[in-house]
Amino acid sequence: MTPSLSFKKRGITLSGLSVELQGKRILDDVDLEIFPGEIIALLGPSGCGKTTMLRAIAGLQRPSAGEIVVGGQAMTDVAPYRRNVGMVFQSYALFPHMTVAENIVFGLKMHGVAPAERAVVLDAALTMLELSALRDAYPARLSGGQQQRVAIARSIATQPSVLLLDEPLSALDKKLKDDMRSELRTLLKKVGMTAIIVTHDQEEALAIADRVAVMNEGRIVQIGTGGDLYHNPNCRFVADFVGYMNYFEGSIRSGSDQRLELDIGDARLLKARSSAETPATGHVTVAIRPEAITPMPKSAPVDQDEFNIVPACLISEEFLGIVTYLRFQDGKGRDLLVIRSGQSRASPLRVGEHYDLAWPIDVTTLMPAEPQAA
Amino acid sequence: MIARLVPYFLVAPALLLIAVLLTGLSSVLGWSFQSSAGDGAAGLVQYANLATNESYRHFFTYSLWLAAISTFVALLLGFPVAYYMEINASPSQRKWIFAGLLAMFLSDYVLKMFGLILILGRSGLVNRLAMWLGVTDAPFKLMYNEFGVLVGLVSGILPYMILSLNGVIARLDKRLHEAASVLGAPPWRIFLLITLPLCVPGILAGTMLSFLLSLNSFVTPMLLGGGRVDMIAVLIFDQAINLANLPLGSAAAGVLFLISGAVILLLNGLGDRYQKRFQR
Amino acid sequence: MRTVSRRQALRLAAFSGALGYLGQMGFSQAQAQKLLKIIAWGGTYGDAMRSSWMEPFAAAAGIRSEIQLQSSSMETLASLRANRNRNDADLWLSAIAPTSLAQSDGLLSPIPVDQLKNASQLPAAVVNDTYVGIWSLPYGIIYNAKTVPFEITKWEDLTDSRLKGMVTAPYGANYNGMFIALLALLAGGDETNVDPGFALAKKMKPNFSIFTTSDSEQIRLLTSGEVDVVAFAPVANYFAARKAGSQFRFVCPKPFIPVSISNVAILKGANVEAATRFIDFAISKEPQQKIAQMLGCLPINTMSEVSPTMREAVPASTEFRFLQEGVMASQLSGWNDRWQREIQR
């Protein structure tokens, strides 16, 4: 890392942040604590308010209520050009009439940095992002990946306290996107900046961020590491957004400190571990990741204390290389997806045959029942 | 067979019209090489006459000056309107502004100039108001002088300027402004460093159109100049029609044609050079 | 069904086209005997000519005539020069300056003056083989009696400082340079020496506010209150302004007023015989009376009666001055430049 590009790590605190646009609540009373040097991803479908939150932090969107504090300083009423945050826009928003070098030093000029110092920072940024050969090119002549690197170089040249990235990879094609994902994380970690990245792509969020905040309808639904969200989603929305999930609607029949028994109809009982968040009684949704399920021949012995078992018929099989999708249907007509590694040497299954679908009780997730969920 | 001929049928009338216009123009230019009585070739006598006569030269220099001033003023006045219309106006405001521009386009030019007289004349609206308010005892001379012609020229070219600017302003990427703002640029620097440079193609187009319209204007100096504002078209008319000196009038028209062509080439060249830099 | 081959069709088309053309030729030649084409002004002029001259002439002589519009006689001169030998009009209504220029350019046919039976009733000065006068227009000052603080009686009053910024004067050498020549005569010069005239005009310069290019503009500026004095106006403009209000006065200033002669000339290649008969009719007593009344000008025929309204505006005692318009014609361009340069700017 070049010594001239150093960053102060600053935390961000959002409290009660709300944004209203034309009477519509885009962001609804959001609280969020981001630690210095942390990379946070805001994940959610379009219209969930994730970009609005980013724009509010940048100062491009006035909040209707709430506080934004960056590095201990209240920013809520500060004009965007006085905040010194870095922002990478969705399609980069490079200045088309300026060369790569001019784009990168733009912020430095605005901050009144002396030309000699600008040159040093420019060289550092060009080197760091491998743009030296393109310093005098105009953005229109650059490839998507090059443009993205220029956008990043431009946004970090002023050594901002936070970096905001709005769908930074969405303009790239699939292959480049995958490459850039890890490159971006490496870079961010190298400079050690606090960063917020907005995306609707769960893989991107999980790959780049330390923590992911899943958003829906202007609120943060759940925040946690990729593992937290994957293994312990607190609702179907999060579960669906991070990977695939099989569901059973059921009700708690009996419970102890350690175990719950769940009635999912069809005179069938499932077992799950209770935790602080799970309700003690009433209707629940039972969720199982498809990759946690193992299809077993009907006759195979299974430890009923450690595994849940649902008999089902194999409807179809899709071999996708890395994985194989197996679609089952149980006696009540419920569809169940099972994902098997493409490398799996387990005995081949036959469509139309009945199997026992088994999964460990430990990975049986409970969440509040959602009557609207279809 | 007929289907193949259709494009030619569609193109032919316009081409024919252009050919007729060019024939007319070339015959006008032909006249400029004749002697004043129209009885023989005289080489460049008329052009020499235009170049050496201070009185004639004044028509050209003064016209260029007025065209430049009016274009500049139209740019200053038109830019905020175009910007407001594209960026800030609500749909209904936009509709009203557009309707106003359309009215300016559709109304007869002569009528518009008479309208200005009603407003700026000696007993026009402005003067009556000023005298009623006691601002002045004697009416201001707002018409039938250079000022009146400038007002006329500016109001004539303003809609063209605004519509030329509209295009580029509408295409401005709002995120570029936001990017500049986040990078620390206050609004006025965003305007100077981002908005203005990106509007250059529209500014050049509007400038070219406005400058040429002003330079070639005839009705405005005739009606609003009070005989004091010398513009080229008035010279051409005066020579060709009032003084029956078609050759000298034609020569003046020829020079005007050359100046206009030079302006087009210059501004187009500038625009091309500017845009080539950042276009794929 | 009979099919027509392509070649046959082409022949047929060519033949019928030729037939049509021949028919048209015959037709137009036959018409040329009867139809006179007169280049003249439109509007009130055209209307007056039709009812005073053209319709009665057609009834009396069986020769129909039509007007080809001109917006100014100088414009026609330019177009006659440009379309030399391609002109198909017979008569041209004009002023002495353009007619003189056209004559020296060889664009006219000589008028057979001895065949004009009514010529003896006209002043000798306005009848020659280049042109024949058709009416005359006296020029004076029109002013707004409500706003002008004194009574204007002589041309020199135009230098009065009380008229500062109130006066409109002709643009360049408009009115065929008559105003410039008049000023020269008043200041001791003449049609060939206009320097004294320009010196006098410079004294008037602070008073001049607008320079007008047409009669209609003069009238509009005066009646809309934009100016208070028209320095040089044909009496007809006074009649027009008078319709807008009784505050407008026409003055035939001392010591004399110029009179312009409108004239008619026969163009090269014209039907001279019919054209001559038309001119003879136009200058006769009755048609002269009628057209003079309609146009608000003076009849050229000395036997014709002058209307009472004209007498009121231009008293019988007024001294007229015929300017040497033929001499002035060739100098107009120079005067025009000089007036623009020294007086208008």
**pLDDT band for position C8 (50/70/90)?**
low
Contact C173, C183 (CB under 8 A): no
Q: To the nearest whole number, what is the mean pLDDT of chain A?
A: 87
Nearest CA in chain A to B199: A97
Core vs surface per residue C12-44: b (16+ CB within 10 A) or e: eeeeeeeeeeeeeeeeeeeeeeebbbbbbbeee
Query: If you average pLDDT over residues C86-95, what whole number do you get?
Result: 91
Is the pLDDT assigned to residue A279 strictly greater than 70? no
Query: If you average pLDDT over residues C281-293, what whole number do you get?
Result: 95
Residue type, C183: L
Contact C249, C153 (CB under 8 A): no
Whether A96 and B181 lie within 8 Å, measured CB to CB: no
DSSP SS3 for C85: coil
Range with the poorest average pLDDT among A177-186, A364-373, B203-212: A364-373
Structure tokens at A263: 């009635």
User: Chains meeting A at 3+ CB pairs closer than 8 A?
Assistant: B
Nearest to B208 by CA among B265, B146, B278: B265
> Do both A217 and A301 map to the same domain?
no
Q: What number of other Cβ atoms are within 10 A of residue C225's Cβ?
A: 15
> Do both C165 and C230 map to the same domain?
yes
Delimit the domains of chain B by residue range. 66-231
How far is the C-alpha of C300 from the C-alpha of C126, rounded, in Å? Answer: 9
How far is the C-alpha of A59 from the C-alpha of B185, rounded, in Å? Answer: 13
**pLDDT band for position A275 (50/70/90)?**
low
Range with the poorest average pLDDT among A285-294, A299-308, B23-32, C216-225: A299-308
| C-alpha Rg value of chain B to the nearest Å | 23
The model's pLDDT over A330-349, given as tens digits with 9 standing for 90+, comes to 888 889 999 988 777 777 88
pLDDT value for C24: 45
How far is the C-alpha of A91 from the C-alpha of C301, rounded, in Å? Answer: 89
Which chain A residues touch B175 with a CB distance below 8 Å?
89-91, 93
Query: If you average pLDDT over residues B120-139, what whole number do you get?
Result: 87
User: Chains meeting B at 3+ CB pairs closer than 8 A?
Assistant: A, C
Is the pLDDT assigned to residue A115 strictly greater than 80? yes
Look up the CATH number of the domain holding residue C36: 3.40.190.10
Which chain B residues touch C212 with a CB distance below 8 Å?
227
Nearest to A35 by CA among A194, A214, A227, A212: A194
How far is the C-alpha of C174 from the C-alpha of C169, rounded, in Å? Answer: 9
> Do both C278 and C253 map to the same domain?
no
Strand-pair partners of A286: A248, A366
> Do both A299 and A355 map to the same domain?
yes
Percentages helix, strand, coil for chain C (3-state, rounded to 5) are: 50, 20, 30
Which chain B residues touch A55 with a CB distance below 8 Å?
178
Structural domain harbouring A298: 244-367
pLDDT value for A328: 93
CATH homologous superfamily of B66-231: MetI-like (1.10.3720.10)
Mark which of A190, A221, A240 sits at the end of a domain: A240
**pLDDT band for position C2 (50/70/90)?**
very low
Whether A95 and B179 lie within 8 Å, measured CB to CB: yes
> Do both C198 and C283 map to the same domain?
no
> Do both A61 and A203 map to the same domain?
yes
Residue owning tokens 């060519």: C14
Is the pLDDT assigned to residue C14 strictly greater than 60? no
Residue owning tokens 């000298």: B248
Whether A96 and B185 lie within 8 Å, measured CB to CB: no
Angle, nearest 10°, between helix axes A100-110 and A115-128?
Answer: 130
Residue B246 forms contact with C (CB below 8 Å): yes
> Do both A220 and A324 map to the same domain?
no
Q: Determine, yes or no, domain membership for C94.
A: yes
Q: Determine, yes or no, domain membership for A7.
A: no
Is the pLDDT assigned to residue C9 strictly greater than 80? no
> Do both C112 and C208 map to the same domain?
no
**pLDDT band for position C186 (50/70/90)?**
very high
The model's pLDDT over C18-70, given as tens digits with 9 standing for 90+, comes to 444 444 444 444 444 569 999 999 888 999 999 999 999 999 999 999 999 99
**Better-predicted residue by pLDDT, C29 or A364:** A364
Exposed, middle or buried by CB within 10 Å (0-12, 13-18, 19+), for A28? middle
pLDDT value for C22: 46
pLDDT value for A370: 67
Residue C7 forms contact with B (CB below 8 Å): no
> Do both C231 and C214 map to the same domain?
yes
Q: What number of other Cβ atoms are within 10 A of residue B224's Cβ?
A: 26
Q: To the nearest whole number, what is the mean pLDDT of chain C?
A: 88
pLDDT value for A188: 87
> Do both A234 and A254 map to the same domain?
no
ipTM of the complex: 0.82
The model's pLDDT over C91-119, given as tens digits with 9 standing for 90+, comes to 999 999 899 989 988 999 999 999 999 99
Query: If you average pLDDT over residues A104-114, what whole number do you get?
Result: 94
Structural domain harbouring C179: 137-259+314-342
> Do both C216 and C286 map to the same domain?
no
Contact C192, C180 (CB under 8 A): no
Is the pLDDT assigned to residue C246 strictly greater than 60? yes
Nearest CA in chain C to B235: C337
Range with the poorest average pLDDT among B105-109, C49-53, C165-169, C202-206: B105-109
% of residues, chain C, pLDDT over 90? 74
> Do both C95 and C47 map to the same domain?
yes
Query: Which backbone phi and psi does C341 adopt, to 5 degrees?
Result: -70, -50
How far is the C-alpha of C212 from the C-alpha of C218, rounded, in Å? Answer: 6
Strand-pair partners of C65: C36
> Do both C66 and C154 map to the same domain?
no
Exposed, middle or buried by CB within 10 Å (0-12, 13-18, 19+), for C326? middle
Structure tokens at A343: 């490398």
Strand-pair partners of B142: none
